Amino acid sequence: MFFLCYKNGMQNDTLQKLNDTVKVPRPGDIINGTVLAIENLCIYLDIGPAKTGVIYGSEYQGAKNILKNLKIGDPISVKVVTSENEEGFVELSLKEAARELAWQKIKEVKDEDKPFNVKIEKVNKGGLISQLFGFPAFLPTSQLSSNNYPRVPEGDKTKILRKLQSFIGKEFEVKVLDFDEKGGQVILTENSKETGEIEDVISKINVGDIVEGIISGIVNFGAFMKFAVGGKEIEGLVHISELDWQLIEDPAEIIQIGEEVKAEVIDVSQGRVSLSIKKLKEDPWKSLKYKVGDIIKGKILKLNSFGAFVQVLRDNVDNDSSKIQGLIHVSEFGTEKKMQEELELNKEYDFKILSFQPERHWMSLKIVKK
């Protein structure tokens, strides 16, 4: 193409007639072009018959790190900002085009479900951070393989962070788990060498299956359990809420590494198995015969900003195994300070039942003042 550029927007008759027959690029279109000329803070592109595009001003500044490496004749994909400006050029954006094309590639990678490598650049308390096609890509701690998961005793957050920091600079084989184009977020999941083999084994597991194994790791939000399926050992997670019917703050208080246990499979998804130990235990809420207005005895287990957890004390039942907790809301005292002044940990009080919903394992209480 013969490059013509007139500052006053004038064009000869032949070029004008040719322009009239050519489809004009519309704002938002992603098109291909070839670098025609490079001037100070301005790049001209051949984008078709009798059409010249330009990247300049803020669009140039926003993509100058990419543009500085371009040479005359280089092909490039751009996004149309304005179909024709006052000087007769089609205004273009490289940054916007790069963004859209990057998301197209991310979608393709997600749809293909193929693993790829990323280098870990930094970490936070939630996981590892890398990049994918220029966008931040987050690998949550929960999506690490069992080999790389930071199994820190008592869930010490400082030690977990230190373990995660040891991965900076290392490459991980991952897949795209999910992404949010609007929010500019990509979520990854680690694809360990055993992933394919494990997925074949997991495909044979069904929700409701009962498995036997040992506790292989304890973290602040639950416990890992190893069990065998078809001669292959795999690992599932028992969330803290699925360990027992009682309120649990530290899983290590009720379960130990190496302990032999049985569990029920409650979910199989994304190559992971979720288990429940408490589902194989009797639900203590089913035997309750309480009703709203009843007066019961309870012991204060825990105080926090929204209220106090109360262990219900039942006649002829081992208090430590009753595992029934109710909640007395802080609003019953007016302020958190007053609640802390009136209640004492591990002390017994009389309570009135305000709400009782055994199907939801829920009981709200009010202290009976003498």
Domain boundaries, the chain: 13-99, 113-190, 197-280, 287-367
Quote the CATH superfamily of domain 13-99.
Nucleic acid-binding proteins (2.40.50.140)
pLDDT at 321 over 70: no
Mean pLDDT of the chain: 81
CA 14 to each of CA 17, 20, 48, 49: distance values in angstroms, whole numbers, following the listed order? 5, 10, 16, 12
Give the per-residue pLDDT at 320.
46
Give the per-residue pLDDT at 275.
95
DSSP three-state, residue 106: helix
Q: In what order do the strands lie in the sheet with 171-180?
A: 116-119, 171-180, 185-190, 135-140, 127-132, 122-124
The dotted CATH code for 287-367 is 2.40.50.140
Fold classified for 197-280: OB fold (Dihydrolipoamide Acetyltransferase, E2P) (2.40.50)
Give the per-residue pLDDT at 20.
52
Nearest 5 degrees, angle CA 278-CA 282-CA 286? Answer: 115
pLDDT tens figures, 255-296: 888 899 999 999 988 677 899 999 999 888 888 889 999 999
pLDDT at 190 over 60: yes
Mean pLDDT, rounded, for 38-43: 80
Mean pLDDT, rounded, for 198-222: 85
Enumerate residues 6+ apart whose C-beta is below 8 A from 246: 311, 323, 324, 325
Does the global pTM surpass 0.75? no
Domain formed by 113-190, architecture = Beta Barrel (2.40)
Q: Do domains 197-280 and 287-367 have the same CATH topology?
A: yes
* Contact of 321 with 285, CB cutoff 8 Å: no
Q: What gap in Å lies between CA 229 and CA 204, rounded to an integer? A: 8
CA 207 to each of CA 21, 211, 225, 270, 274: distance values in angstroms, whole numbers, following the listed order? 64, 11, 16, 14, 9
Give the per-residue pLDDT at 331.
92
> For residue 5, which amino acid is it?
C
DSSP three-state, residue 195: helix
Local structure of residue 248 (DSSP, 8 states): -
pLDDT at 31 over 70: yes
